[in-house]
Amino acid sequence: MASSKQDKYLLVAAIDFGTTYSGYAFSTRYDFQRDPTNTFLKQWVDPTSSMMNNKTSTCILFTKKKKFSKFGFEAEAKYLDLILDKDHMNWYFFRRFKMSLYDVQSTDEEVYLEDETGKPMAALIVFTESLKYLIDSLLNDARKQQSEIHLQDIKWILTVPAIWSDPAKAFMRKAAVGAGIDTEMLTIALEPEAAAMYVKHIPLERSVDGKTGDVFQTFSAGSKYIVVDAGGGTIDITAHQVMEDGNVKELIKATGGDWGGTRVDGEYIDLIKCLIGRTATDDLNQNAPNVFFEACREFESAKRTIKPKSDITFNVRIPSDIGETYTRTHSGKNLKSVEYVTTKRKKQFKISFIGDKLRLASSDAEKFFAKSVKKITKHLKKVFKQKDGRGISTIILVGGYAESLILMEGIKSSFPHMRTIIPQGAAWSVLRGAVIFGHDPSLIRQRRSKYSYGIDVFEKFNPAKHDENRKYEKDGEIRCGKIFSKLVEVDQTVTVGEYQGEGVYTLHAFGTKGDVKLYSSTEMNPQYVDDENCFFIGYILKPGHSFLLNEDIVIKMCFGETEIEFNAHQPKSQKTAKYYLGQN
């Protein structure tokens, strides 16, 4: 499915648009040929701490007139200034908004986001402007190395969670195209697969038990491994088996859930809110909305020091506004006099204070991770019990959350018989791997279909197989409508780059929004398109097409490197149309 345009690139650039942090990397063909892992990785400065980071915060600020203002750390700093000046209420500030696409199931859905103060804005605007900023910033950095490079000279890779629905992935493509990228120069890459590509190309020098000297250049033919991409929002899991030619086949369709690092942050913020009570919490939300975000940022840094079974007390700074607001709303009581806190989950914590630091036992700090780690390990156990999950011997842990010693220990102790490994720079492995994927997208040879796909059709009514409630008459014929005519079923093994799932259909009338309605389902054999767990994807034929009525149309599917193409051909008119999943 790669186009001829993509063969003319000068640079491969990857954007990792994360839940909590975003960044980009790029390399030239020459760089890739010398060392596939040699990529330029943008360094960002956090103005609040002057520290350098390989990613910036996924935050965006719009003016009162809904015009783009700033992105990332700069957006945070500007919004804080607005809060201090009490001028923030009419501005639009969004953070951690990527997860809004987690449940999107149809291209018909209008997705809106609420900013920090509850004001709505179309999600497409928020995502498009965010990507536009990252694209412009990347171009500026690329031109420092190649002054004459232009947008159209770059092959773009945009990473998304593998567990996202097709419409959610298509939404990101639409946002990227709206930000200025030529759709033919854009590839959507699945985050755990990009990470696997990175691991495949580097010597693996460090595993979770601290061993060094492990050379893990490639996997041997026949071996099975699972990639756990532990990010801020989602845990993305995919399993592969290495084939004789070095490429891999997908063993199990991508799975996972919203159990990422932000779940840990949420447990801590819950502790803080339970500590100060509802009155103080509401006061802060109303008068100092930046405080909980600041507290979360402090915890993000401090939680990296939490180690399993440590006897060292955990310390985290809390903003002074929290203590002052508590005293004001509790008749002068000092926050530091509180010794015990019970959270919403009925967990009790013994706490103390020194200066501006909240202190608690390391064993209590580990409780913040408990639910997230339990969800991840429980899900992995289910995967390993599946028929195709048997024989997996290696867990590769990547993503920013993967660097948590608590998560590493949780996985290692749950699966002591398996080799659990983590590459150096696990937080950047998706980004670097996406650049490698742009240069050489040949890793995946066989996939498992994530859904059943089918066309909405009607048939002559048959009382032996059709629902009586769906019977209707049209053009003198008794029919049954909204039948799911299956092309490919869920979990079916498909070969990348080959057409399959052929079906023959007839168009009886032209629609205003398009024709040939495509649906997906999580069920193996859905009967009707409006069954539970069925979702409308889009129209294969766009409005204004020139296909003939009442003539056969042959529709075939092709699973590409990461996206799915539908090919519609009408022998009578010799018309052909291609539809990329979710492009409406």
HEC per residue, 453-516: EEEEEEEECCCCCCCHHHEEEECCEEEEEEEEEEEECCCCEEECCCEEEEEEEECCCCCCCCEE
pLDDT band at 37 (very low <50, low <70, confident <90, very high): confident
Give the residues across from 159 on adjacent strands: 16, 189
Q: Which of 65-79, 350-364, 415-429 has the lowest mean pLDDT?
A: 415-429
Asked if pLDDT for residue 7 goes beyond 80, the answer is: no
Asked if pLDDT for residue 134 goes beyond 60, the answer is: yes
Q: In what order do the strands lie in the sheet with 499-506?
A: 499-506, 552-559, 564-570, 575-580
For the segment 20-35, the average pLDDT, to the nearest whole number, is 92
For the segment 6-21, the average pLDDT, to the nearest whole number, is 88
pLDDT (0 to 100) of residue 353: 96
> Distance (Å, rounded) from C-alpha 78 to C-alpha 84?
10
Cα Rg for the chain, rounded, in angstroms? 26
**Which residues are within 8 A (CB) of 342 and not within 5 positions of it... i.e. 6 or more apart?**
274, 348, 349
Of the candidates 552, 580, 556, which has an alpha carbon nearest to the alpha carbon of residue 567?
Answer: 556
Give the residues across from 158 on adjacent strands: 15, 188
pLDDT (0 to 100) of residue 62: 98
> Distance (Å, rounded) from C-alpha 204 to C-alpha 402?
15
Residue 216, classed as helix, strand or coil, is coil
Q: How many CA atoms lie within 13 A of 11 on its CB side?
A: 23
Buried (b) or exposed (e) across 407-429, using 16+ Cβ within 10 A?
bbbbbbebbeebbbbbbebbbbb
pLDDT band at 328 (very low <50, low <70, confident <90, very high): very high
Asked if pLDDT for residue 296 goes beyond 80, the answer is: yes
Asked if pLDDT for residue 431 goes beyond 90, the answer is: yes
472-490: pLDDT as tens digits: 999 899 999 999 999 999 9
Beta pairing, strands 154-160 & 186-190: parallel
Element housing 535 (H / E): strand 534-541
What pTM, to 2 d.p., does this model score?
Answer: 0.86
The answer to whether 520 and 166 are in contact (CB under 8 A) is yes
- Token pair belonging to 545: 């097409």
Asked if pLDDT for residue 210 goes beyond 60, the answer is: no
Asked if pLDDT for residue 286 goes beyond 70, the answer is: yes
> Distance (Å, rounded) from C-alpha 171 to C-alpha 173?
5
> Distance (Å, rounded) from C-alpha 453 to C-alpha 519?
6
pLDDT band at 579 (very low <50, low <70, confident <90, very high): confident
> Distance (Å, rounded) from C-alpha 225 to C-alpha 343?
38
